[in-house]
Amino acid sequence: MSSNITNLSNVPVGSYARVVGLKCSGNSRRRMLDLGLITNTTVESLMQSPSGDPTAYTIRGAVIALRSEEAKSIMVEII
């Protein structure tokens, strides 16, 4: 693994990242997988709400808003 592995909530707006794993289980994990967050999926951080939470991401062509709590369970490599 590379040294630029972090969680999705740390990806700056306008940057891309590649999913390397999920740190959640149960229904949360199922929801993330259903959204298309599987290994090697490219995710773009689009914008943050004025309050800073949630953040909008492009995942497999769809724009999805995730709270920082959810995004922290998604491990990514910034590309």
CA–CA dist 43, 78 (Å, integer):
9
CA–CA dist 14, 29 (Å, integer):
25
Q: Domain range holding 9?
A: 5-78
Q: For the domain that residue 24 is a member of, what is the CATH number?
A: 2.30.30.90
Confidence of residue 4 (pLDDT cuts 50, 70, 90): confident
Q: How far apart are the first and last CA of the chain?
A: 13
What domain count does the chain have? Answer: 1
Q: What is the pTM of this model?
A: 0.86
Q: What is the per-residue pLDDT for 1?
A: 47
DSSP state of 28: H
Confidence of residue 52 (pLDDT cuts 50, 70, 90): confident
